[in-house]
Amino acid sequence: MTTTIANQARALNLAAGAGRLPALVLMTDRHRLPNLEAALDRLPIGSAVLFRDYDAADRRARAGWLALQCRSRGLLLIVAGDAGLAIQVGAAGLHLPQHLLRRTGRWRRGRRGWILTAAAHDAAAVTAAARIGADAAILSPVFPTASHPGQPTLGSHRFAALVRHSAIPVYALGGITAMTGRRLKASGAAGLAGISALAVDGRRTETLCDQLRGA
């Protein structure tokens, strides 16, 4: 399944002309994805790992370990919600939760080359992400998820409409599987983001690695 989703993500990324950005983003969650190291092994080179785990008592130590793991695998580390921690571990970028999008004009200072992403759950948040200069918005939930049963979702048509009206690239998050990924083929998304769906298949093939090396 990882291979299929990676193929779908790369196709979306190429179609959207978002080649500077990773096609695939793994969101960390120590509860739903306890064996993170195994999940990293399944990611194609050039993918991003978005480190969250906000409530972990040892968050700084986890971030330092993850930075080393990402560098050794050719993955991009993006730290959520803590610019200082991102700088400390040498991350490739920073992710802003939606509630931080009110703070404009401060995230780029002294951080040339950073990838800046922002969480969004509606059109207003996508607009806010563009206004602060984010490189991309991660929009969710697109499809139903096991972690938030019963929560309203955007669906593929609403998601595609928000992408069309966005001034910045947009990733799809929430309920992403090989099956739902096919429904986003013409959405204009810059790529796919997920948690457990990106760690289902333990196989890592040469084709999977080669396609990201050549991107």
> In the chain, what are the domain boundaries?
2-213
Higher per-residue confidence, 207 vs 109: 109
Distances (CA, A) of 88 to 74, 77, 93, 146: 19, 12, 12, 34
Is CATH 2.40.128.50 correct for 2-213?
A: no
76: confidence class by pLDDT, cuts 50, 70, 90: very high
* The pLDDT of residue 101 is above 70: yes
Cβ proximity of 179 and 5 under 8 Å: no
Distances (CA, A) of 200 to 11, 39, 203: 20, 8, 9
